[in-house]
């Protein structure tokens, strides 16, 4: 999908690629080869640069060409069971801003016809920093959701060890791993962009004013806050997984101990009854009365009770 918009005094105006204006925003979401070729011809940006963010495994980085600056950051997305990250490419040229992603995401959706007053596509550097800021803010928002989800799962696991809840906890831990890697890589990119302000050779691509530098510092702070928060949550989740694994092992040991005690107690009357089933002389063999039977039963119950009480005192039950 290809959309071209530009900030005007009354809102966002939509344009065609054939009439590409100065200061436009070209947004490519899951573009086709034809769209990539058309944008490359119109902006003189190499197709390889446009394709950079279309690799799911692309890492956060910056790349400088003669006529453009590529910045790839990872943005959070919600999948069916857990959170993942997706590359978002932002390309600054002398005339426009180009964003490329495999799918639409919450960061790009923040910049629309309802929020046009808060950004300006003509101010390319500030627009890049605003995209970074929304990315860091979205990480924080998703982390808050994950924290509440973790607390809910903890309450469920305290009541019953269901496999579904354990798998969900594993998905949360997987999300934390993806977030940790992405936030760390995004931080490196932001620090590198911060150093661009002293490079006079990049003034035609990235111009920083005092407000832009303040915004970038806010972006770096927000990203560090998200990074610290995800590290804390990751440690909490890892500790919970280890704790619940120990609890499960302890529960299994308790069950096995109980079954072993039951087996011992059941073996006592079985052994006593086996003596009277042998083809040898045993006490009270010739007595024609019910007294021998009940005597044997009473003997078995007495021995089982004594051994059971001893096992209970030892904490086996």
Residue pLDDT, tens place only, 1-37: 888 888 888 888 888 888 888 888 899 998 889 998 9
Instruction: Quote the CA–CA distance of 12 and 8 in Å, as a whole number.
Output: 6
- Residue 144: closest CA among 83, 103, 85: 83
Cα-only R_g, the chain: 35
Domain hosting 292: range is: 256-313
CA distances from 292 to 45, 62, 86, 140 (A): 102, 93, 81, 78
The structure tokens 């510092």 sit at 217
* pLDDT surpasses 80 at 60: yes
Tens-place pLDDT, residues 147-178? 888 888 777 777 766 677 777 777 888 888 88
Q: Are residues 160 and 38 in the same domain?
A: yes
The mean pLDDT value for 223-233 works out to 87
End position of a domain, from candidates 249, 271, 300:
249
The mean pLDDT value for 279-288 works out to 66
Which range among 30-39, 131-140, 241-250, 255-264 shows the weakest confidence by mean pLDDT?
241-250
Q: Are residues 162 and 275 in the same domain?
A: no
End position of a domain, from candidates 206, 230, 249:
249
pTM of the entire structure? 0.77
Q: Are residues 285 and 240 in the same domain?
A: no
Helix 124-159 with 163-195: angle, nearest 10 deg: 160
Instruction: Quote the CA–CA distance of 317 and 312 in Å, as a whole number.
Output: 5
Q: Are residues 235 and 202 in the same domain?
A: yes
The domain total for the chain is: 2
Residues 6+ apart with CB under 8 A from 284: 291, 292, 295
Q: Are residues 116 and 204 in the same domain?
A: yes
Q: Are residues 164 and 282 in the same domain?
A: no
CATH number of domain containing 95? 3.30.460.20
Tens-place pLDDT, residues 168-221? 777 888 888 888 888 898 888 888 887 776 665 665 567 777 787 888 888 889
Q: Are residues 131 and 274 in the same domain?
A: no
Are 157 and 165 within 8 A, CB to CB?
yes
**Residue of 128 and 197 predicted with greater confidence:** 128
The mean pLDDT value for 284-303 works out to 75
* pLDDT surpasses 70 at 304: yes
Helix (H) or strand (E) holding 38: helix 33-43
Residue 224 tokens read as 């560090």
Q: Are residues 300 and 242 in the same domain?
A: no
* pLDDT surpasses 80 at 52: yes
End position of a domain, from candidates 230, 249, 268:
249
Q: What is the pLDDT of residue 257?
A: 85
Q: Are residues 93 and 6 in the same domain?
A: yes
Q: Are residues 72 and 220 in the same domain?
A: yes
Q: Are residues 274 and 217 in the same domain?
A: no
Q: Are residues 137 and 189 in the same domain?
A: yes
């Amino acid at each position: 999908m290809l959309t071209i918009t530009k900030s005007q005094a009354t809102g966002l105006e939509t344009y065609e690629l054939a009439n590409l204006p100065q200061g436009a925003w070209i947004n490519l979401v899951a573009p086709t080869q034809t769209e990539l070729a058309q944008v490359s011809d119109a902006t003189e940006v190499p197709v390889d640069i446009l394709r950079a963010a279309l690799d799911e495994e692309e890492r956060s980085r910056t790349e400088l060409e003669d006529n453009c600056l590529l910045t790839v950051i990872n943005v959070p997305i919600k999948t069916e069971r857990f959170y993942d990250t997706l590359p978002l490419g932002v390309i600054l040229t002398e005339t426009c801003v180009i964003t490329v992603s495999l799918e639409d995401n919450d960061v790009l959706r923040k910049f629309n016809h309802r929020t046009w007053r808060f950004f300006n596509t003509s101010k390319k550097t500030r627009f890049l920093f605003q995209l970074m800021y929304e990315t860091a803010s979205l990480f924080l928002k998703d982390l808050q959701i994950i924290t509440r989800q973790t607390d809910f799962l903890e309450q469920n696991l305290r009541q019953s060890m269901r496999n579904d809840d354990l798998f969900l906890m594993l998905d949360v831990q997987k999300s934390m791993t993806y977030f940790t890697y992405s936030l760390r890589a995004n931080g490196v990119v932001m620090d590198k962009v911060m150093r661009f302000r002293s490079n006079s050779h990049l003034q035609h691509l990235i111009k920083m004013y005092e407000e832009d530098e303040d915004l970038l510092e806010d972006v770096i702070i927000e990203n560090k806050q998200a990074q610290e928060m995800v590290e804390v949550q990751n440690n909490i989740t890892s500790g919970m997984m280890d704790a619940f694994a120990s609890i499960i092992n302890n529960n299994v040991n308790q069950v096995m101990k109980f079954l072993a005690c039951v087996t011992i107690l059941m073996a006592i009357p079985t052994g006593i009854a086996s003596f009277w089933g042998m083809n040898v002389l045993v006490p009270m063999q010739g007595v024609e009365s019910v007294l021998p039977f009940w005597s044997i039963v009473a003997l078995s119950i007495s021995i089982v009770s004594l051994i059971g009480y001893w096992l209970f005192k030892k904490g086996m039950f």
